[in-house]
Amino acid sequence: MKRVIGMLLLIMLSFSQVSEKAVAVSGNELMDAFSIRITVVEEDVEYQWEFDNPNHYEYEKGTKVLKGDHAKIQVIKMTSLLQLDQDKTAEQYKKVLKPYYPQMSSFEIRWMDAHSERYIWSWEK
Tens of pLDDT, residue by residue over 46-101, are: 999 999 988 899 999 999 999 999 999 999 999 999 999 999 999 999 999 999 99
pLDDT of residue 20: 33
pTM of the model: 0.74
The residue among 81, 72, 108, 76 whose CA lies nearest residue 18 is 81
Check residue 3 and give its pLDDT: 52
Distance CA 82, CA 50 (A): 14
Per-residue CA distances from 12 to 33, 48, 84, 114, 118 (Å): 22, 22, 20, 26, 30
pLDDT of residue 56: 95
Confidence of residue 11 (pLDDT cuts 50, 70, 90): very low
pLDDT at position 7 over 80: no
Higher pLDDT, 64 or 26: 64
pLDDT at residue 114 in the model: 83
- In the predicted model, what is the mean pLDDT of the chain? 82
